[in-house]
Each structure stands twice: as C-alpha cells, then as structure tokens.
C-alpha cells in the first residue's frame, strides 16, 4: 500500500555515497534480468517517512541488560548449573551456531558495496560482487592461480593455533597480514573480509578452511577442483537439509523438494519453485537479500561463552566476585566499545579465545548438556534486536574514557558520524528496504495467497509471553501520517509473522510457554527456502543438479562437519 501523503513528498537527496543507475526509479520490467532482481515485480513500493522508520528501528532495539538496582551495571542471565534454557528470550529450537552459519551463507551469495541507504536503488542495476550461487567463492576467492597467498599447494593457509584459555585446541585463527612497517589491525587474508567481522564467524570460516584441508588429506590423489567440489556439495547439502530445515521447518523444504533424495530418476526431479522464477540465470531477489534473509539479526545473542575454560572479566585471568554474580565471567558481548570485552572483528583477537563448537552446535549429544557446557540457544526470531546491534562497530567509535569503570555506557559505542547513516542495525535495515523500493509485508502475503496479519496483531518487542500484551503496536510509530496502517516494512513483517505464529502456540493451553520453539513463518520461510534452494538448483555444478540423490557418507549437520574437522 502506498500512502499518498508520503509518496507525494519530495525524496531527500543522498547525503553521501555514489549513486547507481536508476536511483530515482525502480524498473520492474519482467524482461530484465540482472544479478539482483525482484520476486514480486508487479507489487508497488511501500513508503514511509524516514523519521517513522528511524523511530521504529530504535524501538526494535532492546535496552541494555543491567541490574535492577543499577541501570549502569551490565548483566546477563546467569549460567545455572541445572538448566539449558536460562533466558526467556532464548529459542530452544535453534542453536546459536546457526546464526553465524546463516551469516556465512549470506556472505557467500551477496555483496553489494555500492548502494546507499539514502536514495532509491535500482536492483536491476546493482552488481552482486558475489556469484548468486552457493559455491563458496567467499571461501575460495578466485582460486590458487589468482590468489596464491591464500594457499599452500592444494591446501589453504591457516592462522595461528588457538587455545581454550590455556587448554590446547585444534581451532585456528584466520591467516592474517602483519605489516611490519605500518602497525595496525591485522587483517585476514581470506576470500571475503566480512567473514572476519566478528570472532564467531571468523572461526567458522576457519573451520571451513580446515574442512577443505582435511579432505585434501583424505583424498590425496584428487585434483584441487575435485576437493573443491566435495567441499561445496557437503556445504550445499547441509544448507538444505540442516540449516533450512532448522530455520524454515522441514515441511517447507519437503514441499519445495518433494522427491529429492528418494532415489527417483534424475529427469523427473524439479523443485517446486512457486515464487522464485528466472529465464536464463538465477538472480538475487531483493525481497530476500534486503528483507527476509535479515531475520538472523534478531537471533543474535547479546553475550556468548566461547569455551568453558575462560573465567575472566575485565581482568582476563579471573573475574571479580561481582562480575561472577552478574553472569559476566568468561563470557563476551557480541559487540562492545571496551576493547576485548566484545567479539568485535577485523583484527587479531586473544589467542585463548578458541571456540568450543559443542557450545554452538549439537556435537556428540552436547544438545543435552546444562550449565556452562550447554549448547547456547539463539535468541528468538522476533521484532526485537539485542542492544549491541544498535552500535555496529563498522560505523561506531569507542566511548571515552575507555577504562574504568566497566559500565553499560562503556559497552555502547558512539556513531562515527551522527548526521550520516545510522549505526543502528534495525534502522539501517528499514532504510535499506525503503531505498530498494520493497513492497509491504501485507502485499507480499496476499501475493502468496496468505491472509495478511491484522494491524492489531503487529507489535514491536520481545517474544516473551509476559511482554506480548504490552508491546506497542506498529501503527503507533507514525500516528501523524498513519503510514504503517496495512503497510508494514517487509523485514519487520517477516519477524513479526514468526512472532505472531509463535504467540498463538505459546499462549495455547498445554503449550511450553516461552520454551515453545520459534521458526520463520509462512511468508518469511517460503521466501528464504525458495531463494536458497533456487540458487542451488540454478547452479549446474551443484549437487541438486548433478546428483540430486547424493548425500554425505557420515556428515548430516553442521555439527557433524565441525566434529569431522576437529577429530
């Protein structure tokens, strides 16, 4: 729905950044195919005042966790020795590692450095600097012939060994460049710099490097290209059969691939792609890249345990009794203004920060562990992002003074340019959707034959049963123009849909309440699953096209792959 009061207003010019072709209009011709494109070309762009989106994004960013008695004292849910779920915002259905597997997948298929948050972008003109295929070009780059510094023969170069505090580990850092003349951040020498943007995705990328190397050892006579194919097929199979089934639900994947993996003749196999269609080559749908696939931002936890050996605080060797009491001992915020209190990336991190992956994926039954050894759940897919997402390090600077004291204010970075693009991730996502001319969530639901969610059910806040009645309505964030009435931003709608469907189950008689599992809803799940499966199907070298009945010998999940790497 387009609000005439909004669309009639003059769009503000871009404040910075280079433009791309068609920055004042978004072509919708069904005859054009670029690297980016639209699933729903006939749907109109939805519009809102910029201030309304900024207000909404701010409301979608949770307050910092702090003591009830001291709002400046950071805290976290205590790691109870007899529990796995320790926080009502945790999602029992999805382990924390899937947040970062999702980020790794995103970096494998999309990279658009040119478009701006403050102007209309033409998706048909954008260049995806990643191939829109799940072919691990973010891992392999342009290959050993063109980027030899990443390789040693058929193997990848690895970084320094890492430790679980003082305990030996098989984990490795990314290979890094240490400039002896111009000392500064030690940048990773990898196929996509974004896989160094936090400590967790960096070590996941490193695990994939080690997986390739382990297959070289297992198949020493194979050419590099053959090993590469083995790695890609294992990865693609895991994305379909582990990641998508975990995030979207097994029934969605089975509906799209009803006969795959069941030993049917290859010529009879074709995925059921109802909304993702192309003429020649698959493109990257902006409904996916600029909205639906950003669901993972709501899964980020505010704090993580990397391994069970770490027990430090401000003093990395030992937390104070107060830090232990506040649940901070041996744990780190995903981002923080204070150096080494957050898992910020793009530089070398402490060597004792090796990840114990059994705390992030189910490895050898670790899903049943409790206390510090538990598999940390992801946060729920809902309309709330944790507070550190309001201060992205790439667009922020540390607060002053840095130390002491260790406080909520010290954890929160400051925007580098208060008048420029925001450092708040929710605000950036909403402005991105506006700039890309995305349709509303309600119009996409109707296009899918799904009844749109009523405005009275679209709220902003955490998927916690006690909070639901008091979460503010979406429409309350622009009462002046009423621009959100029947007109929800698509990214917000995907999150709200998951939350609304969950709330109906969580509040039903006999439910598990806050421990009721939550996954993507009908609209979000279909867009995400069809896009990823379609991209794999559209790649003539993928396992779905070459050998759709193939499955790995022993690896059935990302946890299995990492267990193989570290065994």
Task: Provide DSSP, 254-275.
Answer: HHHSTTTTTT--GGG-----SS
DSSP type of residue 160: -
d(CA 182, CA 342): 25
Predicted pLDDT of residue 314: 82
Cis peptide before 401 (omega within 30 of 0): yes
The Cα 303–Cα 536 span in angstroms is 33
Q: Nearest 5°: phi and psi at 168?
A: -60, 150
Q: Report which of 240, 314, 251, 273 is spatially closest to residue 548, judged by C-alpha positions.
A: 240
Paired tokens of 401: 């003074």
HSE at residue 136, side-chain half, CA atoms within 13 A, is 24
Residues 125/28, Cβ–Cβ less than 8 Å: no
The answer to whether the beta carbons of residues 544 and 536 sit under 8 Å apart is: yes
pLDDT at 116: 43
DSSP 99-127: HHHHHHHHHHH----S--TTS---TTT--
Q: What is the DSSP string of 490-516?
A: HHHHHHHHHHHHHHHHHTSTT--GGGS
Residue with tokens 């010019």: 13
Side-chain-facing half-sphere of 164: CA atoms under 13 Å: 15
Q: Is 440 helix (H, G, I), strand (E, B) or coil?
A: strand
Q: How deeply is 420 buried, as exposed, middle or buried, from its count of CB atoms within 10 A (0-12, 13-18, 19+)?
A: middle
- pLDDT of 34: 62
pLDDT at 135: 95
Cβ neighbours of residue 282 closer than 8 Å, sequence gap 6 or more: 132, 133, 276, 534, 535, 537, 538, 539
Copy the structure tokens of residue 272.
Answer: 């059921």
User: Exposed, middle or buried by CB within 10 Å (0-12, 13-18, 19+), for 153?
Assistant: exposed
Q: How far apart are CA 304 and CA 62, in angstroms?
A: 17
- For residue 73, give both structure tokens: 């004292």
Compute the half-sphere exposure of residue 9: CA atoms within 13 Å on the CB side of its CA: 13
- 154 burial class (0-12, 13-18, 19+ CB within 10 angstroms)? buried
Is the four-CA dihedral 519, 525, 529, 531 of positive or negative sign? negative
How many C-beta atoms surround the C-beta of residue 238 within 10 A? 21
Residue 148: exposed, middle, or buried by beta-carbon count in 10 A (0-12, 13-18, 19+)? exposed
Q: What is the pLDDT of residue 131?
A: 64
CATH number for 141: 1.10.640
Return the structure tokens found at 74.
Answer: 């950071």
Reading the block at residue 191, the tokens are 């196929």
Q: For residues 242 and 220, what is the distance between their CA atoms, to the nearest angstrom?
A: 28
How does DSSP classify residue 95?
A: E
Q: Are 103 and 8 contacting, i.e. CB atoms less than 8 angstroms apart?
A: no
What pTM does this model have? Answer: 0.92
Q: If you search the block for the tokens 């065994």, which residue do you land on? A: 567
Count structural domains, the chain: 1
Q: What is the pLDDT along the chain (567 residues), one digit of tens a residue?
A: 444 434 433 333 333 223 333 333 334 555 455 688 999 999 999 999 999 999 999 999 999 999 999 988 999 999 989 989 999 999 999 999 999 999 999 999 986 443 344 445 555 544 444 568 999 999 999 999 999 999 999 999 999 999 999 999 999 999 999 888 888 889 999 999 999 999 999 999 999 999 999 999 999 999 999 999 999 999 999 999 999 999 999 999 999 999 888 888 888 889 999 999 999 899 999 999 999 999 999 999 999 999 999 999 888 889 999 999 999 999 999 999 877 889 999 999 999 999 999 999 999 999 999 999 999 999 999 999 999 999 998 888 877 765 545 688 878 888 888 888 899 999 999 999 999 999 999 999 999 999 999 999 999 999 999 999 999 999 999 999 999 999 999 999 999 999 999 999 999 999 999 999 999 999 999 999 999 999 999 999 999 999 999 999 999 999 999 999 999
- Specify the pLDDT at position 215: 99
- How far is 563 from 361, CA to CA, in rounded Å? 10
The domain in which residue 46 lies consists of 1-567
**H-state helical runs in 458-489:** none
């Amino acid at each position: 729905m387009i609000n005439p009061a909004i669309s009639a207003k003059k769009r503000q010019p871009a404040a910075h950044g280079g433009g791309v072709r068609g920055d004042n209009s978004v072509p919708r011709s069904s005859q054009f195919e670029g690297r980016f494109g639209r699933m729903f070309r006939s749907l109109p762009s939805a519009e809102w005042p910029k201030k309304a989106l900024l207000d909404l994004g701010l409301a979608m960013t949770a307050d910092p966790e702090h003591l009830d008695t001291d709002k400046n004292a950071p805290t976290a849910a205590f790691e109870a020795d007899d529990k796995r779920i320790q926080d009502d915002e945790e999602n029992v259905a999805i382990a924390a590692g899937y947040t970062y597997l999702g980020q790794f997948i995103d970096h494998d298929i999309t990279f658009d450095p040119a478009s701006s948050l403050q102007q209309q972008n033409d998706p048909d003109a954008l260049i995806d600097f990643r191939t829109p295929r799940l072919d691990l070009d973010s891992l392999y780059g342009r290959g050993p012939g063109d980027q030899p510094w990443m390789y040693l023969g058929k193997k990848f170069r690895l970084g320094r060994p890492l430790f679980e505090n003082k305990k030996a580990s098989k984990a490795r850092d990314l290979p890094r460049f240490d400039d002896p003349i111009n000392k500064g951040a030690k940048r990773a020498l990898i196929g996509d710099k974004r896989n160094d943007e936090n400590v967790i995705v960096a070590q996941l990328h490193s695990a994939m490097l080690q997986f390739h190397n382990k297959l070289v050892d297992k198949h020493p006579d194979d050419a590099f290209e053959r090993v590469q194919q083995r790695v890609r097929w294992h990865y693609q199979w895991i994305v379909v059969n582990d990641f998508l089934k975990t995030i979207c639900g097994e029934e969605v994947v089975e509906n799209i691939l009803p006969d795959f993996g069941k030993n049917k003749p290859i010529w009879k196999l074709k995925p059921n792609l109802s909304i993702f269609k192309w003429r020649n080559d698959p493109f990257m749908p902006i409904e996916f890249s600029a909205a639906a696939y950003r669901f993972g931002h709501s899964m980020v936890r505010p704090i993580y345990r990397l391994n069970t050996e770490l027990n430090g605080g401000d003093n990395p060797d030992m937390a104070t009794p107060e830090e232990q009491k506040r649940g901070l001992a041996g744990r780190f915020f995903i981002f923080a203004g204070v150096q080494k209190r957050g898992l910020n990336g793009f530089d070398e991190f402490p060597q004792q920060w090796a990840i114990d992956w059994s705390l992030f994926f189910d490895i050898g039954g670790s899903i049943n562990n409790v206390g510090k050894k538990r598999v940390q759940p992801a946060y729920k897919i809902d309309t709330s992002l944790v507070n550190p997402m309001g201060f992205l390090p790439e667009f922020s600077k540390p607060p002053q003074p840095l130390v002491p004291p260790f406080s909520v204010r010290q954890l929160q970075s400051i925007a580098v340019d208060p008048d420029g693009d925001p450092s708040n991730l929710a605000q950036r996502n909403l402005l991105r959707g506006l700039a890309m001319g995305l349709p509303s969530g309600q119009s996409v639901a109707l296009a899918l034959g799904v009844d749109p969610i009523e405005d009275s059910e679209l709220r902003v806040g955490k998927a916690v049963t006690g909070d639901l009645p008091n979460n503010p309505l979406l429409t309350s964030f622009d009462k002046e123009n009423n621009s959100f009435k029947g007109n929800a931003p698509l990214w917000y709608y995907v999150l709200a849909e998951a939350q609304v469907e969950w709330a109906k189950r969580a509040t039903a008689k006999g439910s598990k309440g806050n421990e009721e599992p939550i996954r993507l809803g009908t609209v979000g799940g279909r867009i995400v699953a069809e896009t990823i499966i379609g991209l794999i199907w559209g790649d003539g070298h993928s396992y779905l096209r070459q050998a759709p009945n193939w499955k790995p010998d022993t690896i059935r999940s990302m946890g299995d792959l990492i267990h193989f790497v570290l065994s």
